[in-house]
A and B are shown apart, each in its own frame.
Chain A
Amino acid sequence: MTLNPSVMLIIILEIGLPMAFTQSLAGNLAVCFIAFCYLMVNRASLKTISFVMLISLPLAFGTGWSFIAFGTGDVWHQAFLQVSRLFAYIFLGMTLTLTTQVRDILLSFINHLHLSPTFAYGLFAAFNLLPRIQRQVKTIRYSANLRGITYHLWQPQLYFKAILSALQWSDDLAQGMASHGFSEGADRTITYHDNLPKWQWGLAIILIASYLILSLLT
């Protein structure tokens, strides 16, 4: 059972927002558990999940420890609460990104959440440049090194040169897309159809409501 990306996004935001304010260990653990089950049902890669867990362990450790060291009141409870919240956010976030492709996510948002096609296709265009952008960052640094200069992250030069490349590439890409028939704001023929049965919205409401009730009660 895979939920539509649009439904997933609403669930993530509507649970993620109140989660910042609630003080419920049980609520956070329930989110982790249900999100993990969902990931398993959808055969998300266990390897990726373990990797994400592994790199967030130091963060969780630091979070917990900081409350024990600098907290007020019941520091242990607060430490467990914040660590569980950190994992709840990570699991919640993974449910969308590990079970669906970028393309399906953006196209679903166009179909169901009124995302403007200009934004979706603009993002697609930029994403396809990823390898070129990575190369460009190296080129900028190496060519500076050849002149005996190192660009540091706290200096404006590296960002400045990146912005100049972005300016040129975005002009080229936008013109290229226009010449291939992309008209901004015009009605588009929609060739992508995804399934969004009404029960999924129902399930979203049930999940969000149960989370709110659980975290208010515990």
Chain B
Amino acid sequence: MQTVQQNKAHWSLRDVIFLAIIAIFFGIIYQVWGYMYYALAATPLKPFANDLTLGVWIMAGPMAGVLLKKVGASFLGELLAATVEMLLFSSWGASTLLSGSIQGLGSELGFTATGYKNWDKLGIALSVVTSTIVTFAWDLFSNGYLHYQPMMIIGLFLIRLVSIGFFAGILVYWIKQLLDRTGLIK
């Protein structure tokens, strides 16, 4: 009797455990980033610290998309990461679910734009752009970015684009290349 389903459109138990374990792994690896963030965040440079490190938190979304190649994988991957974050690591508690949903939505839209056909460079690149725009729009309100000086807002947006572009774009692509070579991910 086969109870572990292999269907691609459907979320199997294995997929959920896989993403959750990755989320925990990344969560542990990120703890190191926490210290760097804190060092900067206690100064007026805090918004820069936010945007400089944001890419790291977004990684889980496109990574999940590239690994599972499913509709909703990026969104759910990021939401799972936020759930793990909420239950195991974060002092923000359930509020991380809110930011996780926004970030997940942002990463997902990039792959949606390719009609879920491209999980390679193009999909990842579009995902970088959409997650930068969506999360920045959210922060314009939630973190009050709208009330900063215009030049600063532009600067923050560019820093965020670079951060997300590197971590959720280039780094995710490098990891994908290494994984492709193993032939373990279909």
The interface-forming segment of B89-97, B105-113, B119-127, B128-136 is B89-97
Chain A residues lying within 8 Å of B3, measured Cβ to Cβ, are 178, 182-184, 186
**Separation of A65 and B49 alpha carbons in the complex (Å):** 13
Q: Does B16 contact A (CB under 8 A)?
A: yes
Of B80, B95, B98, B182, the contact of A164 (CB 8 Å cutoff): B182
**Separation of A183 and B23 alpha carbons in the complex (Å):** 24
Closest to B12 in A: A184
Of B11, B92, B144, the contact of A118 (CB 8 Å cutoff): B11
How far in angstroms is the closest Cβ of chain B from A216?
A: 15
Quick one: which of A13, A93, A116 has the most chain B CB within 10 A? A93
Closest to A69 in B: B44
Convert A63-96 into 0s and 1s, putting 1 for each residue whose CB lies closer than 8 angstroms to a CB of B.
1011111111100001001100100011011111
How far in angstroms is the closest Cβ of chain B from A136?
A: 8
Q: Is the interface of B mostly helix, strand, loop or mixed?
A: helix
Of A9, A21, A65, A174, the contact of B12 (CB 8 Å cutoff): A174
Q: Are A66 and B44 in contact (CB under 8 A)?
A: yes
**Separation of A56 and B16 alpha carbons in the complex (Å):** 32
**Separation of A136 and B88 alpha carbons in the complex (Å):** 17
How far in angstroms is the closest Cβ of chain B from A47?
A: 13
Quick one: which of B15, B41, B141, B166 has the most chain A CB within 10 A? B41
How far in angstroms is the closest Cβ of chain B from A35?
A: 10
**Separation of A202 and B172 alpha carbons in the complex (Å):** 45
**Chain A residue total in the interface (Cβ 8 A):** 83
Q: Are B4 and A184 in contact (CB under 8 A)?
A: yes
Beyond A59-B41, A78-B144, A130-B88, whether A163 also contacts B175 by CB under 8 A is yes
Convert A87-127 into 0s and 1s, putting 1 for each residue whose CB lies closer than 8 angstroms to a CB of B.
00110111111100010010000000000101101110111
How far in angstroms is the closest Cβ of chain B from A32?
A: 13
Q: Is the interface of A mostly helix, strand, loop or mixed?
A: helix
A-B contact count, CB below 8 Å?
223
Of B84, B90, B138, the contact of A20 (CB 8 Å cutoff): B138
Q: Are B32 and A70 in contact (CB under 8 A)?
A: no
**Separation of A96 and B38 alpha carbons in the complex (Å):** 25
Q: Are B46 and A62 in contact (CB under 8 A)?
A: yes
Convert B76-91 into 0s and 1s, putting 1 for each residue whose CB lies closer than 8 angstroms to a CB of A.
0000100110111011
Shortest 10 CB-CB contacts between residues of A and residues of B: A93-B93, A122-B16, A62-B46, A20-B142, A126-B20, A58-B42, A93-B95, A170-B18, A174-B14, A156-B174
Which residues of B approach A to under 8 Å, CB–CB?
A: 3-5, 11-18, 20-26, 28-29, 32-33, 38, 40-47, 49, 56, 63, 67, 80, 83-84, 86-88, 90-98, 138, 141-144, 147-149, 152, 166, 171, 174-175, 177-179, 182, 184-185
30 A-B contacts, Cβ less than 8 Å apart? A9-B97, A19-B142, A21-B142, A58-B38, A59-B38, A61-B42, A66-B45, A66-B47, A67-B148, A69-B44, A70-B47, A71-B148, A89-B95, A93-B90, A93-B96, A97-B93, A98-B93, A118-B13, A119-B11, A126-B21, A126-B23, A136-B25, A160-B175, A160-B179, A163-B22, A163-B25, A163-B175, A170-B18, A174-B4, A183-B3
4 new A-B contacts, CB < 8 A, other than A62-B43, A97-B94, A159-B29, are A90-B91, A153-B56, A158-B29, A186-B3
